[in-house]
Structure 1
Amino acid sequence: MVDREQEQARQLADAFGPHGRAGRDLAWIVSVGVLLACAAVLTDAADPVLEWAGGLSGRGLSGITAILILTPLGATLYAARRYRDAARAAAQLDHLATHDPLTDLPNRRFLGQPFDEMLALARRQHRRVGVLFVDLEGVKKINEMYGHEVGDELLTSIADRFRRIAGPEDVVVRYAGDEFVFLCPDLTNASSAERLATKIIQAVEAPFALDGDQIRIAACVGVAITEDRPSRADEVLSDADAAMHQARRQGPGSYALFDRSMREQLTPATAERRLRTAIDNGEFRLYYQPIVSLWTKRLVGVEALLRWHDPVRGVTGAEEFMPALEETGLIVPVGNWILEEVCRQSRAWQDAHPDRPALNIKVNISARQLAQATFVAHLRESLEASRADPDRICLEVNENGLLHDVDAAWATLRDAKVLGVSLALDDFGTGYSSLSFLRRFSLDLLSIDRSFVHGIGKSREDTTIVEHVIGMAKALGIVTVAKGVETEEQMLHLRSLNCDLAQGWYFSEPQPPAMISQLLADTGSRQEWRPPPRTEDSDAAVVRVDRFEPIQAS
């Protein structure tokens, strides 16, 4: 099937190309004019007219007269046809510029001057305008499973449903790939906005019959209603976008009404500017969550966790802003700063507490950082500048972040390990290639995801998974650390399964560096750690955890 945009381009080419309608008309007019002039010259057909006009005659004058009469006539006809074609082409080009070629809905250009004019008219008429920002959940998955042709057909069907929902004065805009905007001049209160948002969600959730299957997706809707004071188009749209992101946090099939507190939340439109300001103002801090031996319950290491000291919202966890750091690419400079700070802090703790073994620090490394050609050089510079012991720095990577280019990631991590740092795999079991990573990356530490830890002792499946992960790690000589431990029962179950280390709120929430320094001062030197006694029928290998606690195997 020919694409709509290609078809319109073809029509324009037909109108103005060398073989277009206007060109054919001109050729016909010129040909007919030449033939008539020749006939007049050969047959004296124009002589009676010329004699009546002034008694002139002659074949030459007859031909010239015919040409003089026919040429303006032909030019007029050609110009009229050309004007009609030009007007039609201009209208088509204007439609293409302001409408989405797939759904034929207005595109985001409408959200500029036309939307400002709508707001101005509503102000003069003392009306308020409602803006509903719709984000579709699941379109990307449909494209991956069925192909983009089915995905395009799905978007076209959604656009048709939206047209049926919209009121006579409403405008539905396709804002981006899977995002739509409803502009409603008669949406005067929150109740009517909620009813429309519910209709939109229901329309999207109704199944679609595509490619022989019943396809279901969901939507999240953010609602903003203009205030009594004059509002600019970009302000109202930004408010609706912030409300939509709030709805996304609530889950698919949700809607949220904008309130002013949402203006401080990160959205794609504001993320980069606000994060750059945070970097320039030094608003990012590192907190450290203790990692504890399950056998001695002593502090053996910490994980460095990023926090944002937002002047407006206070201390904010990484889950709030880390996706925006990744999307904007700012994770690279922030990640470089984290490496420098971790190395500096490691040396500071070692100098402040020389009477005890140096504390191990686990730091998360993003895939974007690993993709930088200068990553290993920056790590080396950070270690040398701080004089940190590389044996006490552990780089933790997420397996999902390595899937894009495993070979390049492996080369970078291999070069990093030559410097003396250790390697950890984060959230083991939640990705796609865990076993191959264990074999390939020469890991020192394996983090068991909190989703499995939460179900241990309650879910047979989760308990079995954790048990096998620990057994496999011990067979490979890898230390295990369970994340998200919150209860004593979880701690005891992990200990019974021979897990080495644990971290979570049961032991301590993330702490500022000063609090970790206090913990180090209070605990003093540590006792030796010994593995649990082996049963007679057990042939499991005794795992040394030198990287995380000096031990002497029994």
Structure 2
Amino acid sequence: MWKQVYLSTSVTQIAGATLTAIVYYLYQFADVVTSVIAVFVFAIIYINYRQMFRDINDSIHQVELAEQEKAEIANQQIQAAQEHAQELEVLLEKEEKISTDLRQSKVDLEHAAFHDNLTDLPNRAYLIERLDLLLRLGVKVSQNYYVLFLDLSRFKNINDSLGHTIGDEVLKVVALRLRRTLRDEDTAARLGGDEFAIVLNDIASLDDARDFANKVYKKLTQPFTIQGHTIFSDLHIGIAPFDSEQIKPEDVLRDADIAMQNAKENNIGVAVFDKDVRSEYLEHIRLEGDLRYACDRGEFSMHYQPLICLRTGDLMGFEALLRWQHPELGFISPARFIPICEDSGAIVPITNWILHQTTAKLAEWQKISSDYRKILVSVNISGKHLADQRLVSDVKEALDKSGLKPSSLKLEITETTAMENAERTIEVLQELKSLGVHISIDDFGTGYSSLSYLHRLPFDTLKIDRSFVINVVDRNKDTEILQTIIALTKNLKKEVIAEGIETTDQLKILIDLGCDYGQGYLFSRPLPVADMETELYKKKDWLPHKEEEGASEPDVSDSPYANLF
């Protein structure tokens, strides 16, 4: 702006001075007309000159306005660029934070996928990957590694009595003690529940692995206090080395588990895996699977052993005994498969099948003769079924379907089963008695019955265990025990059955002691349906003759399950 003012002022002064000089010259030397014309011309020139300068000034002003506007636009653009740059910086920071969070989430997710939430130990998935790597490296590398399988004993009792919160704290303490006991190169993992596993690295021998397992055992079994509760924890540890027969990580873990089960069965702290135990375990698994389909495949059959009145020799009824003819393995002893049924839970549906089979068959046999109208059938009830709330309805369903009178069915439970939860047993037996069925306490003398509960149990007969009958002779210790049991039962106004009778001497002693009923090979071995029907139609004399005693085959089975089903 100052340039415009300076230029305009300077030109005006110069032009004014020039015009003044011209006017003075004309005044001195020219005539009037010429002077007037000259003045007029110069006036026009001056006016044009002024207009030109106004136009120039206007143009300069427009240029300056344009430059100002351009400068303002430039400033706005710069400001917008700066704001955009700031926004971009903020976005980049947010993106970087999101990227960092995603990376952290990925790390957290990977950690969660391979670690236990409660103890923060590696989990089963991590352990499986570790074992898989060792197997792929080969026996030359893995032979220096050993797997330990740990199972806490009585942990369920802690949860049930003190609550799951205390139980969780116990698991955390166990995990902490494991971390403090293991070396840096070892790996501990929680498999789930109260089960843990350890991979020992660079162990020179099995003895060293056993020593380390004993160290872990001593550390974890030391008592500790949680929220005022002193916890006494016990456990069982199984040790498994790597070998060439192990193909999958689960095979190694299975072998360590088998060893742990062996420790549990033998009530020891630490046990080492061996291949013979593996064979038994695999057979156990196979039988467990086959048992689930044995009923549908028609592999089960019922055998019946007579129950005889010792005073008259009359047939009182039968004990129903389950037999399994495996299509490939042949006959399988009840001592082998009944415990598997118990452990797997298959015992309940199998017992229901037995109830339907036996009640229907006895209803048929009662029609053979009027002498058989009051005979009964005795069916063993397992502890698992006794604890099942459907037991009473299962029994009622079998009776309704067969049409058998409830008084013709006797249910047997072992003394040990009855005492496991005596109050619950009393309640269930009372419900069963309300149906009209008979109740018998089986294997009496082998458990630890409390007399305060025994007299409250609503049973009808008590069956003396075979172990007291087999070795009985006149005036020996077993005879005195038999006399005490029989006297106790009579005082309770119940009847007595003796099982495992094999000789006439045993029979005579039992009769002299006042035993009511008996069963055993002296009378008859358990017979299949067809053979038993033949005997029923014969109406045979069940009491043995002296000359037949030597011909009877003794029942040599000493298994607690041999006469269970």
Deviation at 1:68, TM superposition (A): 0.7
Query: What's the counterpart of residue 31 of structure 2?
Result: none
* Partner of residue 107 from structure 2, selected from 91, 108, 119: 91
Paired amino acid for 2:94: Y
Displacement after TM superposition at 1:338 (Å): 1.0
Deviation at 1:363, TM superposition (A): 0.3
8 Å CA contact 1:239, 1:263 repeated in 2: no
Q: In structure 1, how many angstroms separate the alpha carbons of the residues matched to 2:262 and 2:395? A: 38
The structure with more helix, counted as a fraction of residues: 2
Equivalent pair of 1:484/1:504 in contact (CA under 8 Å) = yes
Displacement, 1:471? 4.5
Q: TM-score, normalised by structure 1?
A: 0.64
1:296-445 pair list within 5 angstroms: 300-309=316-325, 316=332, 318=334, 320-322=336-338, 324-326=340-342, 328-343=344-359, 345-346=361-362, 360-365=376-381, 366-367=385-386, 371=390, 375-376=394-395, 378-380=397-399, 383-384=402-403, 391-397=407-413, 399=418, 409=428, 413=432, 416-417=435-436, 421-426=437-442, 443-445=459-461
Partner Cα separation in structure 1 for residue 510 and residue 190 of structure 2: 51
State the partner residue of 1:107. 123
Matched, 1:226 2:231: no
2:187 alignment counterpart: 171
Q: Which residue of 2 aligns with 1:162?
A: 178
Larger-gyration structure (1/2): 2
State whether residues 428 and 446 of structure 1, in contact with CA within 8 Å, keep that contact through their aligned partners in structure 2.
yes
- Aligned counterpart, 1:116: 132
Give TM-score scaled by structure 2 length: 0.63
User: Per-residue displacement from partner, 1:251-296 (whole Å, max 9, x unpaired)?
Assistant: 2435241315534437997675342244444444445566555667
Amino acid at match of 2:411: L
Task: Provide the residue aligned with 1:23 in structure 2.
Answer: none
Please say if 1:137 is aligned against 2:146. no
1:345 CA drift (Å): 4.9
Task: State the AA in 1 paired with 2:390.
Answer: A
Which residue type is aligned with residue 76 of structure 1? L
Q: Which amino acid aligns with 2:492?
A: A
SS of the equivalent of 1:265 reads: helix
Paired residue for 2:265?
Answer: 249
Name the CA distance, whole Å, in 2 between partners of 1:166 and 1:297.
70
| Deviation, structure 1 residue 175 | 1.7
* Shift of residue 116, structure 1, vs aligned partner: 1.7
Q: 2:291 aligns with which of 275, 287, 300?
A: 275
Q: 2:90 aligns with which of 74, 83, 86?
A: 74
1:525 aligned partner = 541
Mapped contact 2:386–2:425 kept (Cα < 8 A): no
Distance 1:60 1:229, change over 3 A: same
Letter in 2 for 1:120: R
Write out aligned runs for 1:422-501 (5 A): 422-426=438-442, 443-447=459-463, 466=485, 469-474=488-493, 478-481=494-497, 500-501=516-517
1:183 aligned partner: 199
**Distance (Å, rounded) in 2 between the aligned partners of 1:267 and 1:205:** 33
SS at match of 1:131: strand
CA 1:194–1:373 in 2, change beyond 3 Å: closer, same or farther? same
What is the Cα deviation at residue 169 of structure 1?
3.5
Per the TM alignment, residue 501 of structure 1 is displaced from its structure 2 partner at its CA by 4.0
Q: Secondary structure at the match of 2:492?
A: helix
Superposed CA deviations along residues 152-208 of structure 1, whole A, max 9, x for unmatched, are 333333333333444443322222222222233545754444434433443444444
* Structure 2 letter corresponding to 1:303: E
Q: CA shift at 1:210, angstroms?
A: 4.7
Distance 2:498 2:291 in 1: 31
- Residues 32-74 of structure 1 show CA distances to partners (whole Å, capped at 9, x for unaligned) of xxxxxxxxxxxxxxxxxxx9xx966666445423321111111
CA distance in 1, matches of 2:499, 2:227: 43
The amino acid across from 1:233 in the alignment is P
**In structure 1, what is the Cα distance between the partners aligned to 2:222 and 2:307?**
48
Corresponding letter in the other structure for 2:160: E
Looking at structure 1, the residues matched to 180 and 477 of structure 2 have their Cα atoms a distance apart, in angstroms, of 49
Task: Report the Cα offset of residue 364 of structure 1.
Answer: 2.0
1:239 corresponding residue in structure 2: 255
Q: For residues 415 and 357 of structure 1, do their structure 2 counterparts lie closer, same or farther at Cα, with a shift above 3 Å needed?
A: closer
How many angstroms apart in 1 are the aligned matches of 2:194 and 2:471?
Answer: 35
Output the CA distance in 2 between the equivalents of 1:525 and 1:504.
15
Write the letter of the residue equivalent to 1:202. Answer: K
**CA distances 1:59-109 after superposition (whole Å, capped 9, x unpaired):** 644542332111111122222223323322332233233222222222222
Separation of aligned partners in 1, 2:225 and 2:507:
49
In 2, the alpha carbon distance for the partners of 1:505 and 1:525 equals 14
Q: Distance in 1 between matches of 2:233 and 2:501?
A: 35
The residue identity in structure 2 corresponding to 1:131 is: V
Provide the rounded CA distance (Å) in 1 between the counterparts of 2:361 and 2:301. Answer: 12
Q: Secondary structure at the match of 1:231?
A: coil
Q: Is the 8 A contact 1:122 1:129 kept in 2?
A: no
Aligned residue identity for 1:395? L
- Higher deviation after alignment, 135-144 or 395-404: 395-404
Structure 2 distance, partners of 1:416, 1:332, is 20
CA distance in 2, matches of 1:360, 1:266: 40
**Aligned-partner SS, 2:83:** helix
Give the aligned residue type for 2:258: A
Aligned partners of 1:454 and 1:198: how far apart in 2? 43
Equivalences for 1:256-271 in 2 at 5 Å?
256-260=272-276, 262-265=278-281
Query: How many angstroms apart in 1 are the aligned matches of 2:527 and 2:189?
Result: 47
Distance 2:235 2:535 in 1: 48
Shift of 1:371: 0.7
Identify if the C-alpha distance between structure 1 residues 254 and 458 changes in structure 2 by more than 3 Å, giving closer, same or farther. Answer: farther
Q: How many aligned residue pairs are there?
A: 465
8 Å Cα contact 1:105-1:159 kept in structure 2: yes
Equivalent residue, structure 1, for 2:28:
none
Q: CA deviation at 1:526?
A: 6.0
**Cα distance per residue 1:393-430 (max 9 Å; x no partner):** 3123554688797799468635743xxx4333556796
Q: CA deviation at 1:213?
A: 6.1
Q: Deviations over 1:453-486 (max 9, x none)?
A: 9999869x98999478525530xxx324466899
Q: Structure 1: which 5+ runs fail to align?
A: 1-50, 528-554
